[in-house]
Structure 1
Amino acid sequence: MSINLYSKMLQQRFYCRIKYFSRAYYTVKNHNIAKDENFMAKQLYSRIKATGPITIADYMKEILTNPFGGFYMHKNVFGSSGDFITSPELCQMFGEMVAIWCLNEWSKIGSPKPFQIVELGPGTGSLSQDILRVFQQFKCLNSCSLSLVEVSPYLSNLQGQRLCLKSNNITIPSSPFYKEGIAKEGVQVRWFKRIEDVPDVFSIFIAHEFFDALPIHKFQKTENGYREVLVDNDEKEGHFRYVISRNETPAVKTYIKPSECRDHLEISPQSLLTVNTISNKLESFGGLALVADYGHGGEGTDTFRAFKKHKLHDPLIQPGSADLTADVDFGRLKEAALEGDRVIAFGPVTQQDFLSKMGIHQRYKALEKIASGKQIEALRMSFNMMMDEEQMGKRFKFLSLVPAVLEKIVEKYPVVGFS
């Protein structure tokens, strides 16, 4: 089925929007943000001085989402001029493959309506933009809405400018969403701060590079058993260091399994809660879920790191100036999703494998024929970056979830990209 859909898509005149190896970006002016580069360091130093060392999870949450100085809250961190670049920003091909996957699996079960596309952490909005465009080409946007889960007011403005003809902030305190608009394709778009608040209808959940930014707890194996890694103040004000907890913390007692044997490990409780919410919604209201991120199957150890201007950066230096991230534990994520037999899980498979099975090689050749000059060079570099094993091809993984009630259907018609 996916091949037929893909062949039809190749007949449409889509043009690659790559320029100098990345997409063009909208800008949102905000003149009210403090320029103190040491704001977060001062904030954290005062907190730790008053209450003692904090967990890595608290450190990440504060640095990434603090309303006044959080990394994601007041600037565009994506693209060649930012701190890192993601596949949807590289080229439209990635978003098109994701859209075809969504269309294929949705049509396989009868194209239920009404339905919503839900993107978690939509970045600049480029992935949702590509998905809506492909759905529109197939005339599949009737009874469709787009729900975006985004905590950053700056990024939500960026997404609104990219996706909508016009968008408005909602000032009603009781409203589950804080912003709404109408997409250029005529689809209703709403912004939510929590996944729990998105409407309870048939949903296609997309989470691309979302789980890697959720807070983690770090644990170290010692002669006295597992202890948690914490962040403490160093001797000089505004400087920090790692310390090991003297005793078992609540996180050690809650999340370390008796069978665990790694010397070092990381666990993200918020990731487990999020995938649990997705599984509940899929079971109760129907839908599909596709998770794409860099990660491992459960063997990962010390992966906590920072990126600044596309280079590795010490997470403890100048907090708030760099992105903090950790590899996603797909093994733990899948295990949490499967609890209670609510859903069926497929994968994880590598990005190279998933995109190949979705037909990205054919799409690349089709775009190459209509591109010229620098577009061809940019197209080739973007394709290689997404597919090469030494770059994104092997490191990024895909995981899909479908309601358990569809077991007989997916046995007869396997989930495309994972068979």
Structure 2
Amino acid sequence: MSALVTLQRCGRRVLHARAAFDASRLGRYRSNQPGDSKDDNQLLKHLVMKIKATGPITVAEYMKEVLTNPIKGYYMHHDMLGEHGDFVTSPEISQVFGELIGIWCISEWMSGGKSKSLKLVELGPGKGSLMDDILRVFSQFQHLLNSCDISIHLVEVSPKLSEIQAMKLTGNNIETKYDEDTSAYKKGITKSGFKIYWYSDINDVPAGYTFFIAHEFFDALPIHKLQKTSDRWREMLIDVDPDIPHKLRFVLGSSTSPLAQTFIQADEKRDHIEVSPQSAVIIQKLARQINHCGGAALIADYGHSGDKTDTFRGFRAHQLHNVLIDPGTADLTADVDFGFLKRIVGNDVATLGPITQQEFLKNMGIDLRMKVLLDNNKDESTQQHLLQSYDFLMNPSKMGS
């Protein structure tokens, strides 16, 4: 299940998506049992020492350490995508997903006035499969794009993934040494001839007419978990169990959370909220740039419109994994609150969606594209793979809703 929403400078109708994940049955607040965590987990030892020294930490701080710690962070050294990884994404399932995003980009560029320059920015580009499929479409429509100076900009914090992306997109035709005023940590030329740059921070990407693509990016940003008690909102924290060494547990903070005054609406009916200040900062950045320079943003993620509560979960080897066990060995994620993002953006830009992935792909012409692929590939096993991938993307019981 993926979800899509767009930010745009103008109010044209575009078709985009949303999805909700029912997290209530997962029981993610059960603490790990004694002996569950490995004795040699250095990140766990680091977290335990930190908590004992300074007190319980927020879920956001825990996520940041677990996912992006330079030494043992999950994203920093893992190739976590695909059949042999911990989870799979739509671009890894079928080339058609990325191709239709490429068609969306070209359609938006044309309807937006065919700007003479275009920066295509992807946030968290995974293995580079989505961008590879987009650029293949760009090459096929080169006759339309010849008048446009196109450059590719990838925001990626993982050294491991940036190496995989560079190999896929450039054939390793890259440089890593620059002038001091260059904010990119890597650059090169794609196989299709576009300049490509890598950045560790979105704020380093140069401004201009831009299309932002964020596919399963916002769901990995750190969240704070706020719990409503009888008289106030308190923050859920992570502490060390005093009875069991190296065992983490959830606890409630003793005071009113200052985040509640900033992010929780007066008419909020839920008693548990997940908020991501970092997501708010990034979505404001996108909106401001689109407002000032033109362009659009396409956001695709597991998400909801402000009606879900506890969605914090872990994945390892394609199975749900207790978020407190063996930190750094599993992906941590929380569903994106699209209602929150739209509220943060306000009236700076038009927001469209969210709608389901199935509806978005249907309206972008997935059925016609599948017919062409099936007609051009008569091999029975290839056709079977195409049909299975189509079902996985579109079936409401899989990723379609």
Report the TM-score when normalising by structure 1. 0.83
Pair 1:47-2:50 in alignment: yes
Q: Who is 1:230 aligned against?
A: 237
Q: Who is 1:355 aligned against?
A: 361
Matches for 1:279-318 after TM superposition, within 5 Å = 279-318=287-326
Q: Give distance in 2, aligned partners of 1:55 and 1:197.
A: 27
Matches for 1:184-203 after TM superposition, within 5 Å = 184-203=191-210
Deviation for aligned residue 1:44: 0.6
Alpha carbons 2:99, 2:134 under 8 Å: kept:
yes
1:301 partner letter: T
Matches for 1:72-221 after TM superposition, within 5 Å = 72-139=75-142, 140=145, 142-165=148-171, 166-170=173-177, 174-221=181-228
Q: Who is 1:383 aligned against?
A: 390
SS of corresponding position for 1:253: helix
Deviation for aligned residue 1:173: 5.3
1:367 partner letter: L
Deviation for aligned residue 1:169: 1.7
SS of corresponding position for 2:256: coil
SS of corresponding position for 1:98: helix
Q: Who is 2:7 aligned against?
A: none
Q: Give distance in 1, aligned partners of 2:260 and 2:179.
A: 40
Matches for 1:31-42 after TM superposition, within 5 Å = 38-42=41-45
Q: Give distance in 1, aligned partners of 2:199 and 2:70.
A: 16
List runs of 5+ in structure 1 lacking aligned partners. Answer: 1-34, 395-419
Q: Deviations over 1:227-263 (max 9, x none)?
A: 1111101232221000011111332333222222201
SS of corresponding position for 2:309: coil
Identify the structure with bigger relative contact order (alpha carbons < 8 Å, sequence gap 6+).
Answer: 2
SS of corresponding position for 1:73: helix
SS of corresponding position for 2:226: strand
Deviation for aligned residue 1:96: 0.7
RMSD across aligned C-alpha pairs, in angstroms? Answer: 1.5
Q: Deviations over 1:256-291 (max 9, x none)?
A: 222222011101111111110000000111111100
Change (3 A) 1:177 1:38: same
Alpha carbons 1:37, 1:321 under 8 Å: kept:
no
Alpha carbons 1:226, 1:248 under 8 Å: kept:
yes
SS of corresponding position for 1:246: strand
Q: Give distance in 1, aligned partners of 2:220 and 2:196.
A: 24
Q: Give distance in 1, aligned partners of 2:395 and 2:179.
A: 48
Change (3 A) 1:378 1:251: same
SS of corresponding position for 1:245: strand
Identity over aligned pairs, percent:
49
Change (3 A) 1:65 1:171: farther
Q: Give distance in 2, aligned partners of 1:162 and 1:39.
A: 32
Deviation for aligned residue 1:364: 1.2
Q: Give distance in 1, aligned partners of 2:306 and 2:82.
A: 30
Q: Who is 2:275 aligned against?
A: 267
Deviation for aligned residue 1:362: 1.2
Match of 1:278 among 281, 286, 302: 286
Matches for 1:58-73 after TM superposition, within 5 Å = 58-73=61-76
Q: Deviations over 1:271-314 (max 9, x none)?
A: 11111000000011111110000100110110000000000000
Alpha carbons 2:392, 2:399 under 8 Å: kept:
yes
Q: Deviations over 1:325-348 (max 9, x none)?
A: 0000011111212x2x32111100
Report the TM-score when normalising by structure 2. 0.87
Q: Deviations over 1:116-164 (max 9, x none)?
A: 1000000000111111110111002641000001111111111000001
Change (3 A) 1:178 1:215: same
1:92 partner letter: Q
Deviation for aligned residue 1:174: 4.3
Alpha carbons 2:81, 2:126 under 8 Å: kept:
yes
Q: Give distance in 1, aligned partners of 2:291 and 2:277.
A: 21
Alpha carbons 2:127, 2:165 under 8 Å: kept:
yes
SS of corresponding position for 2:255: coil
Alpha carbons 1:170, 1:177 under 8 Å: kept:
no
Q: Who is 1:402 aligned against?
A: none
Q: Give distance in 2, aligned partners of 1:335 and 1:328.
A: 13
2:376 partner letter: I
